[in-house]
């Protein structure tokens, strides 16, 4: 993070995005906690952006609403632009939806009514938000009976004086009004459309239109309007509000946020508070342009949608990198984001079933062949095994298509590169060839891992074998994910460093996975930092612990990954954070009385966000009643420490005592 103004004492990072980083800070001038956002240097260096920032911040200080985060102050210090706002500790609405699923309709209407009230206030001073979505709605207390919501992050707000980045269409694809695809200017009705999408997300747990960027754009242009089943009081009126809020024609929508707020207030009074979540089916997706109803290529259908999509693509090309930044928005590291590359939401660590909770994946021998099985998390236990992949000897996992759910990936040598097999829960196993852009191809049997090194929301294939036993150079190969496959493997890094282990982790919270490297003596860790385009070595630094067999994850939920070392000798679980040019170590569980048997776990530790709360947890294994039974012991993270392990059930296999948890890396 850039240097901070001296009046602020900076603490925990809350998140980082394309436009800057946000930390909890103490404003020493007024002795109060604030959320301090410092804009990225590459943006703040442009005079046009600096002018935009000052003008927007001045406008935002005029807002007066209990549902808009208060702007306390803004300024510039040593060339760094900053803004200090009200600190809201309850987290994002998007986090709540991912962790607990759809809201009951009364609560969904309540929250969206408060967002509409916030827009009424912002529109009154001439500000269009233009990026209303769950990650830009904060909650005072997610456990409260009556939720209190705040609309935040006006990083791409518009005051009517062209304050957005030139050439860009601001907003997030899943919540972008259809007229914006053809380049029409934003208006109050575009914010109102986004509230309709937000309302559906609260009711269904996902945006109204999903899939690739083109699928989402066509959905907004031509897709059916989402509707809930009219099975209870107030639901017919709820459907009328959805139809009017999300009307394709702006003239058919509520024309002011005040009108929308009044309609939602009436709904809130009509829908019973005790009504459970509806979990409605998504709207039927329109056919892609160029397909007839049978799926065969033929007469073009959906021409208006195709024209709109092409117009949107034209805006992206004209806007270049800046347009991509505007479409990405300014999410924190653990939020939903939509990038031009196709990412729609951040994957929950370990989630292979798509329910928002991390599962346990194991690789074992069933007596005839190697297989990979998934034990789905219920939030308090692991369920029975379900086989997902068979016949693979080296299995890792990652979110290849950026849909928020992880897939299993097996890597083996191929005829002209590597043979990659991909499988998902409930899907078919498929195999593809990944070429190599070099005659000196790597050994594909070691060092395979999945990590989003390019920052597009899709995990790429990385080959980085340990070299401490061979004496060869340490080489990193990268095959960028295309969503349904991979580009050719390319050599992206080579050095003489001795590396015993390499794992992918976003240690700086910038949205691009880096590579954490362990030296053979296990006393130092290095980092190859990714900026989405290249890897840069920052050297090796002491950890003040013995980093054997490290695992990584976002254990405190701040958007940046930490390194965990389970030190069975000292009976401690140590969390390592990257702080500038050093590793900061902290003991999260002390087992000096040997109550939790940290010394033995057969196999080793797995990382999974088992309860879907955004904070990764640890899974270890203890002996069961028979030679091939293990008990799964879960250490749940509070964000500050690990709870004592809880037994989440047993696992029995015909595996001759061989099985391993499947992680994002395999060394």
CA of residue 396 relative to chain centroid, distance: 19
Catalytic residue among 73, 131, 191, 351: 131
Alpha helices in 176-302 (DSSP H): 178-181, 188-204, 213-222, 235-245, 257-270
DSSP reduced 3-state for 69: coil
DSSP, residue by residue, 462-507: EE----TTT-PPEEEEEE-B-SSSB--BEEEEEE----SEEEEE-T
CA distance 196 to 245: 5
Q: Under a CB-based contact definition with an 8 Å cutoff, are residues 80 and 38 in contact?
A: yes
Nearest-10 crossing angle of helices 257-270, 235-245: 160
Query: Would you call 627 exposed, middle or buried from its count of C-beta atoms within 10 A (0-12, 13-18, 19+)?
Result: exposed
Sign of the CA dihedral with 383 first, then 384, 390, and 391 last? positive
Nearest-10 crossing angle of helices 105-124, 188-204: 160
CA distance 451 to 514: 8
Q: On the CB side of 344, how many CA atoms lie within 13 Å of its CA?
A: 21
Q: On the CB side of 348, how many CA atoms lie within 13 Å of its CA?
A: 27
Computed over its alpha carbons, how large is the radius of gyration of the chain? 25
Total length of the chain: 667
Q: Which two tokens stand for residue 185?
A: 């200017």
Q: Which two tokens stand for residue 350?
A: 């370990």
CA distance 608 to 339: 25
DSSP reduced 3-state for 4: coil
DSSP symbol at 175: G
List of residues 6+ apart from 259 with CB closer than 8 A: none
Q: Looking up tokens 């939509």, which residue turns up?
A: 338
H or E stretch at 631? strand 629-635
User: Greatest CA separation found in the chain?
Assistant: 73
> Phi and psi for 215 in degrees, rounded to 5?
-60, -45
Helix, strand, coil share of the chain (percent; to 5): 20, 30, 50
Q: What is the 3-state secondary structure (H, E, C) of 356-400?
A: CCCCEEEEEECCCCEEEEEEEECCCCEEEEEEEEECCCCEEEECC
Q: List beta partners, residue 478.
A: 462, 490
Q: Looking up tokens 């966000």, which residue turns up?
A: 609
- Exposed e or buried b for every residue in 86-97, given b needs 16+ CB within 10 A? bbbebbbbbbbb
CA of residue 123 relative to chain centroid, distance: 30
Closest C-alpha among 489, 484, 505, 600 to residue 551:
505
List of residues 6+ apart from 5 with CB closer than 8 A: 75, 77, 80, 82
131 is catalytic: yes
Q: Under a CB-based contact definition with an 8 Å cutoff, are residues 664 and 634 in contact?
A: no
CA distance 171 to 328: 8
Q: Which positions are catalytic? A: 131
């Amino acid at each position: 993070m850039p240097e901070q103004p001296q009046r602020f004492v900076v603490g925990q990072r809350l998140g980082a995005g394309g436009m800057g980083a946000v930390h909890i800070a103490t404003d020493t001038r007024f002795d109060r906690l604030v959320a301090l956002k410092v804009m990225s240097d590459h943006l703040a260096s442009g005079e046009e952006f600096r002018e935009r920032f000052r003008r927007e911040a001045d406008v935002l200080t005029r807002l007066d609403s209990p549902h808009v985060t208060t702007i306390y102050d803004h300024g510039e210090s040593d060339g760094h632009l900053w803004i200090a706002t009200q600190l809201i500790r309850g987290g994002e609405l998007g986090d709540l939806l991912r962790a607990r699923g759809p809201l009951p309709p009364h609560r969904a209407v309540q929250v969206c009514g408060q967002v509409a009230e916030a827009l009424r206030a912002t529109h009154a001073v001439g500000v269009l938000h233009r990026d209303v979505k769950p990650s830009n709605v904060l909650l005072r207390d997610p456990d409260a009976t009556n939720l209190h919501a705040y609309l935040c992050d006006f990083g791409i707000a518009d005051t009517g004086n062209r304050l957005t980045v030139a050439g860009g269409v601001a907003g997030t694809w899943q919540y972008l009004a259809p007229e914006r695809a053809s380049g029409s200017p934003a208006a109050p009705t575009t914010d109102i459309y986004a509230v309709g999408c937000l309302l559906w997300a609260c009711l269904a747990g996902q945006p109204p239109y999903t899939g690739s960027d083109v699928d989402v754009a066509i959905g907004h242009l031509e897709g059916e309007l989402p509707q809930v089943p009219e099975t209870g009081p107030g639901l017919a009126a709820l459907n009328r509000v959805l139809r009017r809020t999300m009307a394709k024609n702006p003239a058919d929508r509520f024309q002011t946020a005040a009108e929308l707020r009044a309609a939602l207030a009436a709904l809130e009074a009509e829908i019973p508070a005790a009504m459970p979540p509806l979990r409605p089916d998504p709207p039927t997706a329109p056919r892609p342009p160029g397909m007839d109803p049978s799926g065969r290529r033929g007469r073009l259908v959906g021409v208006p949608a195709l024209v709109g999509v092409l117009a949107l693509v034209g805006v992206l090309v004209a806007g270049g990198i800046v347009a991509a930044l505007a479409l990405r928005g300014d999410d924190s590291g653990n939020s939903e984001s939509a990038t031009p590359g196709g990412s729609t939401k951040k994957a929950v660590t370990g989630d292979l079933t798509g329910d928002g909770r991390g599962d346990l994946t194991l690789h074992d021998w069933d007596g005839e062949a190697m297989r990979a099985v998934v034990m789905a998390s219920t939030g308090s236990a692991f369920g029975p095994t379900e086989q997902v992949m068979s016949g693979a000897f080296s299995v890792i996992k990652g979110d290849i298509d950026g849909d928020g759910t992880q897939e299993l990936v097996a890597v083996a040598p191929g005829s002209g590169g590597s043979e990659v097999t991909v499988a998902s829960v409930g899907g078919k196993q498929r195999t593809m060839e990944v070429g190599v852009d070099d005659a000196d191809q790597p050994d594909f049997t070691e060092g395979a891992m999945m990590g989003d090194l390019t920052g597009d929301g899709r995990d790429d294939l990385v080959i980085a074998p340990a070299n401490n036993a061979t004496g060869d150079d340490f080489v990193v190969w990268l095959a960028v994910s295309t969503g349904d496959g991979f580009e050719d493997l390319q050599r992206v890094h080579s050095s003489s460093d001795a590396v015993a282990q390499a794992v992918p982790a976003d240690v700086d919270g910038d949205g691009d996975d880096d590579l954490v490297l362990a030296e053979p003596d296990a006393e130092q860790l290095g980092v190859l930092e990714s900026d989405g385009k290249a890897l840069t070595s920052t050297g090796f630094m002491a950890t003040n612990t013995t980093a054997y067999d490290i695992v990584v994850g976002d254990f405190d939920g701040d958007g940046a990954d930490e390194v965990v070392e389970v030190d069975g000798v000292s009976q401690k679980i140590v969390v390592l954070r990257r702080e500038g040019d050093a590793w900061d170590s902290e003991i999260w569980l002390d087992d000096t009385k040997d109550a939790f048997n940290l010394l033995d776990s057969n196999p080793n530790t797995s990382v999974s966000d088992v309860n879907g709360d955004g904070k990764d947890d640890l899974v270890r294994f203890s002996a069961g009643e028979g030679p091939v039974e293990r008990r799964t012991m879960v250490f749940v993270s509070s964000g500050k420490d690990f709870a004592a392990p809880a037994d989440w059930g047993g696992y029995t296999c015909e595996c001759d005592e061989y099985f391993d948890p499947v992680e994002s890396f395999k060394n």
